[in-house]
Chain A
Amino acid sequence: LSKKLASTCFVRFDENRCVGCGSCLRVCPTKAIRVKNKKAIRIVEQCIGCGECIRTCREGAVSATTKGPGVLKQDQVAIALVSPVLYAQFPGVMPKDVLLGLRHMGFQHTIDMSYFLEIFQCAAEEFINRNRKSQKAPWPLISPVCPVVVRLIAFQFPSLLPHVLPVLRPVALMAREIKSHLVPDYVDAHRKVVLYYINPCPTKKEPSCLPRPKKTVPTEIALGINDIYPELLKYVEQIRAADRIPFYQTRFEYETCATGNASMWAMSGGEIADMDIDQSLAVSGIEETINYLGKIEMGLFQDIEYIEFRTCREGCLGGVLVAIDKYLAKSTVQKMIKRFGLGRRLQRENILRLYEKGQFQTEKIPAKLTRLFGASKKALSLEALQKIESIAKRIKGTDCSACGAPDCRTFAEDVVRGDAALKDCLLIGAPAGKKRRSKL
């Protein structure tokens, strides 16, 4: 465990703020955190980007590797890719006003996700419909939308990778559309284009963090909703204060309009609620997600066709980078649905035509993730398992975490893997008769 590992793709630890309390140790679902010398140090390869450590840290020592406010520069074409969770942060405000606020902030284009959510929904329905006959994929199919869930599966439940619905995620469809229709004109005009993903969670990787950095045109940057919220709120309030909203000239309809159908996606269950699938479930929260994935692995839920998982409680509006309380946001969404209704805008036939051409399918996700996570854990040998067992027996664990590992079993595993020393354990490490005395 070297120091340079402390900062990684999804979250970073501030060593000056960390007091070594170990709260993050215990909430990490992949046991990716160790505390060394009273500072939280992470094991990079096991991080799936769920952000639970950010949520739990009272010292504010853990933060997402998003860019932070004030990144917009004059000389660039800034394109905001907006997740519907953003609208949920502004009770009583129309989504178009939020988008207008973003343009006042300096984004030239604001891309709303509604269209792409609809396309995804349609493609997913089609795949599931056909799967009833072809049985190409096993039931239940698992939603690929929450990237943390997909990484969790690759890391902890690899046997479930064939269950992941092989349809491109809405955000990928959106980025593809922008790159093929909006960006080329600017590139031709020699303008620098930057795509800003405005996210409720720390899950978008910086390109520079990837094992092989992609040389993409345009540049891609992740922003947390909470990064831009204070400034955006200012503009939104200005817009609301104005008597009349000026008509704004845009190139695509999806730069201004959001639908009720899309705003629902911010909540748990929003993905499946309007889908044409009878046997579906929505599960949210990291513990419940792990619990249910375990059950699927044991052969349960084969009568269910599609399961939507979100590792944040209540869905994406419970993400770690949101700006307002999740229940307040949920009520905002519910009011929006009431106002907009749930109609779809796109012609199903048009989408199906593209589906036939294979525009939405992806087979790559599982293979890529297996490579990424498969190599991260070295296999334990039979002898190593025996050693771990004998150490665990000696400790007779209380899972106190004083050694810096989340629990006794993980500590024993660390010792056998050579990442920790047995003497780090308070129960068996201290030599007998040499107990520490307090000097009072």
Chain B
Amino acid sequence: MPKFKKSFHIKARDFIRAGEASINVQNLLKTMNLDSRLIRRIAICGYESEMNVVMHGGDGSLSIEVGADRLVLEVTDDGPGIEDIELAMQTGYSTANDDHREMGFGAGMGLPNMKKNSDQIYIESTKDQGTHVRMFFFIPDGVKTD
């Protein structure tokens, strides 16, 4: 089964360029003429996870893997990790600091939003070693193959 994978670098604390990796993923998927609602969901997940890395994580990457009937959005970083994943998944829970909130972030919606907009989400995190999130999106009609 053919697969396509591409990954984009995310730099920690770089708020100016935050969102670029996610936009690159979007542009890539748009060339495949996928359903626009699906692209929107991936865009939201991409952005939320990218912001998480920029705010809390270390350097990391956002990668997209396109299979015949599914997309996998993967985000990894080498930051401090999430101590209590279950707590982090709750709406409104945030470890953002005042600087983040001043910029309009830190509403505690990131992970819940990612969960809401993806079909499946897996989070692995080890303290002081980083976080690895995988989000699955199923494509009912499949992607175009030759």
Q: Is the CB of A385 within 8 A of B32?
A: yes
Q: Is the CB of A413 within 8 A of B43?
A: no
Q: Of residues 112 to 170 in A, which have CB atoms within 8 Å of B's CB atoms? A: 156, 158-159, 161
Q: Is the CB of A383 within 8 A of B145?
A: yes
B101 at interface, CB cutoff 8 A: no
Given the interface pairs A295-B19, A386-B4, the reply to whether A156 lies near B146 with Cβ below 8 Å is no
Partner pick for B36 among A158, A294, A384, CB 8 A cutoff: A158
Query: Which chain A residue has the least Cβ–Cβ distance from B40?
Result: A159
Q: Is the CB of B31 within 8 A of A385?
A: yes
Chain B contacts for A380, CB-based, 8 A: 31-33, 144
B2 at interface, CB cutoff 8 A: yes
User: How many angstroms from the CA of A295 to the CA of B40 in the assembled complex?
Assistant: 11
A245 at interface, CB cutoff 8 A: no
Q: Is the CB of A385 within 8 A of B4?
A: yes
User: How many angstroms from the CA of A383 to the CA of B145 in the assembled complex?
Assistant: 6
Chain B contacts for A374, CB-based, 8 A: 33
B121 at interface, CB cutoff 8 A: no
Q: Is the CB of B33 within 8 A of A389?
A: no
A297 at interface, CB cutoff 8 A: yes
Q: Is the CB of B22 within 8 A of A298?
A: yes
Q: Of residues 105 to 138 in B, which have CB atoms within 8 Å of A's CB atoms? A: 113
Q: Is the CB of B6 within 8 A of A382?
A: no
Given the interface pairs A159-B36, A159-B37, A377-B33, the reply to whether A385 lies near B43 with Cβ below 8 Å is no
Query: Nearest chain B CB to A364's CB is how many angstroms away?
Result: 18
Query: Which chain B residue has the least Cβ–Cβ distance from A303?
Result: B104
Query: Nearest chain B CB to A155's CB is how many angstroms away?
Result: 10
Most chain A C-beta atoms within 10 Å of own C-beta, residue among B31, B47, B48, B113 = B31
Query: Nearest chain B CB to A91's CB is how many angstroms away?
Result: 39
Chain A contacts for B4, CB-based, 8 A: 382, 385-386, 389
Q: Is the CB of A382 within 8 A of B3?
A: yes
Q: Is the CB of B30 within 8 A of A156?
A: yes
User: How many angstroms from the CA of A154 to the CA of B145 in the assembled complex?
Assistant: 25
B68 at interface, CB cutoff 8 A: yes
Q: Is the CB of B145 within 8 A of A381?
A: yes
Partner pick for B2 among A297, A386, A413, CB 8 A cutoff: A386
Q: Is the CB of A298 within 8 A of B43?
A: yes
Q: Is the CB of B144 within 8 A of A299?
A: no
B143 at interface, CB cutoff 8 A: yes
Q: Is the CB of B146 within 8 A of A384?
A: yes
Chain A contacts for B143, CB-based, 8 A: 381-382
* Residue-wise interface mask of A (378-402) relative to B, using a CB-CB cutoff of 8 A (1 in contact, 0 not): 1111111110010000000000000
User: How many angstroms from the CA of A25 to the CA of B79 in the assembled complex?
Assistant: 41
Q: Is the CB of A298 within 8 A of B37?
A: no
Chain A contacts for B28, CB-based, 8 A: 385
User: How many angstroms from the CA of A229 to the CA of B33 in the assembled complex?
Assistant: 44
Chain B contacts for A378, CB-based, 8 A: 33
Query: Which chain A residue has the least Cβ–Cβ distance from B1?
Result: A382
Partner pick for B19 among A294, A382, A386, CB 8 A cutoff: A294
User: How many angstroms from the CA of A382 to the CA of B70 in the assembled complex?
Assistant: 12
User: Which residue numbers of B lie inside 8 Å of A, CB to CB?
Assistant: 2-4, 6, 19, 22-23, 26, 28, 30-33, 36-37, 39-40, 43-44, 46-48, 66, 68, 113, 143-146
7 chain-A/chain-B pairs, Cβ below 8 angstroms: A161-B36, A294-B19, A299-B44, A381-B144, A382-B3, A382-B145, A389-B6
The 8 A-B residue pairs with the shortest CB-CB distance in the complex, in nearest-first order: A379-B33, A298-B47, A159-B36, A159-B40, A299-B44, A158-B36, A381-B144, A383-B146
